[in-house]
Structure 1
Amino acid sequence: MNHLLLILLGGPVAIGGPLLVARRLVEGHADQAAAAIRAQHGEPTPAPAQRPATTIRAKELTAR
């Protein structure tokens, strides 16, 4: 039973793990490059994006 769980969990981890690591490396490099370009041109650093405090939701449809 333990071998089956290792096989079932190992497949997605083996496929997805390198993709997640690559994405993290690419995003980190993009952030560093953007900061260097902003510093070179004297542009201010943008404020971090914030989520809105409230979410507007569509009214639910009800059957009558």
Structure 2
Amino acid sequence: MKRKTGDIPKIMVFRPDWSEFQNFSRYLEYMESRGAHRAGIAKVIPPPEWIPRRKSYYEEDIMNMVIPSPIC
């Protein structure tokens, strides 16, 4: 199906359960199969069992990381 010029794809929202969240790369494939890639962004609401990172992202190892080919 062709889109008209100016049509903006909707940003899709996904709510994986814990088992789906465990294999996130497989879940990304599912999201793309549903068309999430068309907007270039999607929202993923993690399951209640997920616990966010407790340590800061400003740890020494992360702050000194070198990215060999940055996008910009």
**Shorter-chain TM-score above 0.5:** no
Shorter-chain TM-score: what band? under 0.3
Which structure shows the bigger proportion of residues in strand conformation?
2
How high is the TM-score relative to the length of structure 2?
A: 0.24
Question: Which of the pair has more CA radius of gyration?
Answer: 1
* Higher RCO, 1 vs 2 (CA within 8 Å, ≥6 residues apart): 2
Tell me the TM-score normalized by structure 1.
0.26
